[in-house]
Each structure stands twice: as C-alpha cells, then as structure tokens.
Structure 1
Amino acid sequence: MNSRDTGFPRADAEHDFLRARRRQVLSRLANWLRREPDDVNIMLPFHEVVDALGWEGERRIGLRVIRLDSIVGSVDRGRDFDRRFRPTSGRVRERWERLALAARRGESIPPIEVYRVGDLHFIIDGHHRVSVAHSMRLSTIDAFVTEVRTKLNPSGIRYRGDLIVKDYRRLFLERVPLTGQARAAVILTDPWDYAELGEHVEAWGFRLMQDDGVFHDRATVAARWFADEYQPVVQMLHQADLVGDRTEAEAYMWVAGERYRLIRTHRWDDDVIEAVRSQRMQ
C-alpha cells in the first residue's frame, strides 16, 4: 500500500487523479521556467509521425506486454493527456477514477490497443488505462499491437519538432533515392538543408547527363553523385581537417557553397580545398 493511501479505494482513486493533475500543472510550470520547447510535454500525433516517415504497410501481431515508457503518442486523444499521460483537465476525471478504483480493487483491466512504429507505441484505445497505470508507477501494460512499417526509421524522434526533420529527409530521399550505406551516411540536422541538398544533387545530375549525353533516372543520379562526388569530397575534407563538429553532409554542403562562391567552379581539386581552407583561417 502507498504511504499516502487511506485504505478506502474510492477516496484513494480520487486522490490519485488529483495528484496526477497536480503533477501535470507543475510540469508545465517547470517547462515554462526552464524555457523548454512548447512541444516537450505534448503527445506525438500518430498520423503526423507516419506522414513524416512515409507509410509502407501494417500487420497485426496480437497481444504483447509493452513498456509504458515506449508509449509516446496517440491516434486522436492528444489533448486530454500530456506526454506522460497525466490528465490535462478535469474532463476525463469520472472515467479515470472509475478505472483507478477498479485497478485498486484488483479487477481485471482489458488490454489497450496500440500502433507500433519502430520502438514507439501510439494509443488507439486505452488512454485512461495508460494514465492510471502511470499513476500506479507500473512499468508495463498488456496491449494488442498493430505494427506499422515506414520508409524512414523512426529513431531519433523525441518531440513533435523532430518530425519536421524526418519529413524533409523523406522528401529528399524521394528526390535523391540513396540506398544502403549511402542512405545512412547523408545526415543533416537542419530540415531546410535537405531541400537545399536535393536541389544541389539534381543540378549535379543535370550536368552529369550533359557530359554523358544520355538521360539518367533519379536512382542512377543518386548513386553516381554519392560515389563520384560526395565520397571523394568527404574524404578530402577529412584529410584537410575541415569537417569539424558538423556531420559529413553538412561539411560537404558548406565547402560546396564556398567553392562556388570563391572560385566559381564545379570542379574539385587541391587548389579548391586550399582556397576554402585559407578563407576559413582568415
């Protein structure tokens, strides 16, 4: 029994709800005082996540035991609970307390229903049950799981703002369909950089087709750009110690822009790298 329990399940269920509401309000205040992003306590919307990652398919995998901390979002009830499933208002109080009372009495609680995207789970049905489980400091919950496959890996998604980067990356990979190692290697942190790099690769592909005198599809251009342009340049940047604390793709974009600004050329050689290095040292 919790040290704060009265021994009367109905009264304790009511106190559970009030504690959960108080924690939600205090969390909002703490975020405001720390000036953290507005979305730090907001549940991830399932449809926005899948749109950003690109839906490929789904399959039901049945009843599973899942970790409560893996549940990060909702299909359609994001406004009633925060990211940690604390109630955001008194709207859900009656049903919440009814479930809390049932849990305290040891009654059977039906499994929730979720979508699984990578290691993340999104509630279809069972928001109140998850909220009550959190308040009871449980670590797992039974759930009927439907697994959703996406074009992009959902790793790295923590907050709603992270979806912007994923969305721009998905669009970039549609324009520049890299595969395997090449796909994993080209990483940018600013979402707009993906749009700029996509324009750059398409321009590079146009010049390639002019030189070859034949049409190349997007997949061919992407593969040729990575092998003939990106990798050799990144290797030169490492040798010249010009990558710094950027990703390799960010270093490539920076030096490609500097190359054209300083020398007005699309070629790469030691003179280009030396000119960029000298400019950096000034």
Structure 2
Amino acid sequence: MPVRDTGSPRADAENDFIRARRHQVLSALAGWIRHDTHDVVQTLSFDEAVDALGRRGETYRGTQVIPLDAIIGSVDRARDFDRRFRPTSSKSRQRWERLARASRTGETIPPIDVYQLGDYYFVRDGHHRVSVARALNLDVIEANVTEVLTMLSPVEFSRREQLERKHWRRIFLERVPLSRARRAHIEVSDPVHYGWLAEMVEAWGARLMHAEETYLDRPTVASRWYEEDFTPVLEMVEDAGVRGEDETEADAYMRVSGERYRLIREHEWNRDIMAQVTRRKRRPRRKQDDPTRL
C-alpha cells in the first residue's frame, strides 16, 4: 500500500501509526478466524531459537545493510510487535511517531542491533525503527550484526513447530553424537521420537559395554551403534520390503526394533528374526507404543 504524504511530517507520522495498528488488528482478527497458531502471527523469540539450535559462540560482523523481510524475531520484545513488526498496542505510540517523523524528514537514524542466525535476524535493539521502516515500505535497514554460531545448522526454523523439531534433534545429538555425514540419515516423523531413539541407542550401548566388559564414551557408542545396528537393520528392512512409504529410515528402524522385542523378547538380529517381524501385519505406531520399553 502506498505511503501517504500530506507534506506535514507530524500528521503523516500519526497516520503511519494509525495505519500500522489498523493492519495489525485486522491481521490478528483474520488469524483468529483462520485459527492461526502463534508461530504464524507472533514475532519469534530469539531465546527459543537459540535453545533449539544450541549455541556455540558468536562473532561480530560489523555494520551491514540487511533485508527487512529477513528480520523474523526479537530478543525480548516478542509480544510488543506481530510477525511483520506492526505494534500490538498503543503504549509506545509517541516514540513510534517520533521515529516516523525523523525518517520522513531525513534525519540520521542509528543502525539497529541484531543477532544473525543463518539467513535470519533477531532484533536486540531497534524494534521501533524496524516497525517504522516496514510501515514506510522500505526494503532494507542498516544494522550492527552479531552472528550466533549454533550446534545445528540454522535453516528451516522460522516457525515454532520447526523449532520444536530442532530442539528434540539437538538433544538427541548431544546424547548420540554422530558425525555430520551420519546424522543426515537420522530423521524421525514425530519430534518426540528423537528422545525415544536416544534411549534405544543408550540401551544398546549399555548392553555392548556389558558384553565387552569395558567403558565406551558417547561418540564411540554412537559410531558403533550406527555401524553395527542401525545400518544392518535398515539393510534387512529394505531387503524385506517392509519400510512404509511415509517412514523415514529412523522411523523404520524404531518400528521393526520394537516389533522384534515384542515378538521374541530378543535384542539380536538375523534373517530368521526379520522374517518373523515381517510376517506380523504392519500397524501404525500409537503414542503409547514406546519402543524404548525393551
């Protein structure tokens, strides 16, 4: 929508704020009608994102010009602005309009401060400046950028449901520290199943240490589990043709491992055991079918 310009910066700034608030209210109403979740309408929390991805450190990248559309969240003002940084109340209207007037009259506006996670940015300081810039239909803004380094790759996390998956995956990889190449094969359909799979690996490692009468650290257990259990089981699953169309490799591993133990109370694998498992009609896993109860 074109930005109105009457020639009076004060009046135009007032109109800018009224327009931004009106759009926020209408957007919230439309979201309520559509039953949108919070991750669609609310600014994303930086703390939630970093907690899900796992923080390793940070590096200051200097002052840059960044795209406004790449700013998706806030460090501590998530409830004061919606996903498009429109104000959710009128409590800071005077400050907002003062910045709008300054922008319209060409005054120097200091850079905002942001954290960078991958291709996305979270505002540390300058929420009102971002809000005004969006209301004035600007495409970019100047920012002091600090890049945050994370354990998981900071991609596909702009929604809270994606953050939940990242959170459970990070916890799994802390308990089962696989190499980067191998972790690419570990994906589950339900994020909660990452916890179940971690327990399965730890139980496998405990049996291995008992059998070999030695202590093995987590990286060693993870590597040997992947080589000696996960990969061979998947090969048998593929040979038997029992992997479901909607199953990931990890989904299939968890299902047949659970079926094996329910059928024969055995932790070993061979072709005869796989044949017994595959003769049982495949059924969808229910929430109560926890494969870690082995």
* Residue in 2 that maps onto 1:276: 277
Tell me the TM-score normalized by structure 2.
Answer: 0.89
Question: After alignment, is 121-130 or 13-22 more displaced?
Answer: 13-22
- What letter is aligned with 2:259? E
* Residue in 2 that maps onto 1:256: 257
Distance 2:180 2:2 in 1: 52
> 3-state DSSP class of the match of 2:144?
strand
Shift of 1:233: 1.8
* Residue in 1 that maps onto 2:145: 145
* Residue in 2 that maps onto 1:188: 188
Shift of 1:55: 1.6
Shift of 1:4: 4.2
The answer (yes or no) to whether the contact 1:165–1:189 under 8 Å persists in 2 is no
Q: Does 1:45 align with 2:48?
A: no
* Residue in 1 that maps onto 2:268: 267
Distance 1:10 1:271 in 2: 81
| Equivalent residues in 2 for 1:185-264, closer than 5 Å | 185-239=185-239, 240-264=241-265
* Residue in 2 that maps onto 1:64: 64
* Residue in 1 that maps onto 2:174: 174
* Residue in 1 that maps onto 2:24: 24
The answer (yes or no) to whether the contact 1:205–1:225 under 8 Å persists in 2 is yes
Distance 2:245 2:45 in 1: 36
The answer for unaligned runs of 5 or more in structure 1 is none
Question: After alignment, is 100-109 or 213-222 more displaced?
Answer: 100-109
Question: After alignment, is 264-273 or 128-137 more displaced?
Answer: 264-273
Residues 243 and 9 (structure 1 numbering): CA distance in 2 closer, same or farther, change over 3 Å? same
Shift of 1:3: 6.7
Percentage of matched positions with identical amino acids: 55
What is the number of residues matched between the two proteins? 282
The answer (yes or no) to whether the contact 2:45–2:75 under 8 Å persists in 1 is yes
Shift of 1:80: 1.1
* Residue in 2 that maps onto 1:15: 15
Distance 1:86 1:232 in 2: 53
Distance 1:55 1:166 in 2: 12
Q: Does 1:117 align with 2:117?
A: yes
Aligned-residue Cα RMSD (Å) equals 2.0
Distance 2:66 2:229 in 1: 45
Higher helix content, 1 or 2: 1
The answer for unaligned runs of 5 or more in structure 2 is 284-294
The answer (yes or no) to whether the contact 1:56–1:150 under 8 Å persists in 2 is yes
Distance 2:86 2:181 in 1: 41
**Deviation per residue, 1:67-126 (Å, 9 max, x gap):** 112111111111210111010000121111111112122222211110112222111111
* Residue in 2 that maps onto 1:107: 107
